[in-house]
Amino acid sequence: MMGSLDTLGKPIRFRYATIPGSTMRTGTVKDGYLYATFIYATGGVYKNVLLKADTALNIAFANEYNMQQVLYGNGLQVSNTGSIYFAGDYFYGGINGSYSDIFIIKYGPQGETGTCNFLPFNDPFPDLPVTTATVTLTPFTRNYPNDVFTLAFTSSNTLLNVNQVLCSSLPVCTFIQLNKPAPVCQLNHIFPVAFRKDALCTLRPQWQYDTSRLQLHSTTDSTGLFSFKKAGATWLRASLNAGCSMYADSLLLSIAPSPDKFSLGADTVLCPHDSVLLHAGPGFVSYAWQDGAA
């Protein structure tokens, strides 16, 4: 279950997972988003779910991961670059006894895990009706003895050894390159900006641009679709957050002011050997005539 309350502790919204036997393990808040993990078992296999929700508890993403061992998370934190860190204990063993060791998992900003596969968690999170009641608190005074304890600390030679890496993030994203689009001549006309990256890189770029001049319509695995809101030149920046490294490229885009009208002037009569100067006005790069001349 997850919920939000106002500054006075009054409930705003509560939601819960419908899957039986699910147990919430960890949670944290970063930049207005709630991050949480919970586990559940199905068919004798344990699953771990990582989710991200906004302030209204709308799900931004929820990913489900298979677990080779039972993971009991004890901590969840999010870095300033969006990477998600999940740590705790995992349990394993069999008829000869059960054991536990510590683990740490680093997720990407969207829960990606490098070479580890995962699936979207599509089970619903219905709203949980909540009723409120007034609680009266009665002060209770209790005295405690002022005991003094002496603590002694000694150094330890114990080292933390990593004896198994269950899966790791291979450097499959190492660059991004923006390709200059064809000339843009119309406002509010959608044009593509293609980009290149590593063949195995599945990350999509994060775009930075002047929203007063450009509008992003959609992004595929190789192209961003934009349109100009007004004439002029502006920079477009694309970046890939590969977890340990950030890769970026920039491109200067421009659109010329659109001509108000296209006119060669009024009709006129020419006598043999006369000439007339035709001028369509500013804002055109070239003219194409009916005989193919330019």
What parts of the chain have a pLDDT lower than 70?
68-69, 93-97, 114-115, 158-171, 243-244, 256-261, 280-285, 294
Give the pLDDT confidence score for residue 22 in this predicted structure.
Answer: 84
- What number does CATH give the domain 176-255? 2.60.40.1080
How many other CB atoms sit within 10 Å of the CB of residue 192?
15
Whether the CA torsion 100, 106, 110, 113 is positive or negative: it is negative
Q: Specify the DSSP class assigned to residue 113.
A: B
Backbone angles phi, psi at 66, to 5 degrees: -75, 145
Residue type, 29: V
| CA distance linking residue 92 with residue 28, whole number of Å | 27
Return residue ranges of the chain for CATH 2.60.40.1080. 176-255
**CA torsion angle 56 113 40 79 (round to 10):** -40
List all residues 6 or more positions away from 273 whose beta carbon is below 8 Å from its beta carbon. none
Find out whether 103 and 158 touch, Cβ atoms under 8 Å.
no
Find out whether 111 and 84 touch, Cβ atoms under 8 Å.
yes
The token pair that represents 150 in the structure block: 């002496």
Find out whether 266 and 278 touch, Cβ atoms under 8 Å.
no
Which residues are bridge partners to 73 per DSSP? 88
| CA distance linking residue 86 with residue 216, whole number of Å | 33
Task: Classify residue 267 as exposed, middle or buried by CB count within 10 Å of its CB (0-12, 13-18, 19+).
Answer: exposed
Q: Which residue has the tokens 């007034």?
A: 134
Which of 66, 74, 14, 3 lies closest to 40 in space, CA to CA? 66
∠ CA 107-119-33, rounded to 5° = 50
Q: Which residue has the tokens 């043999």?
A: 272
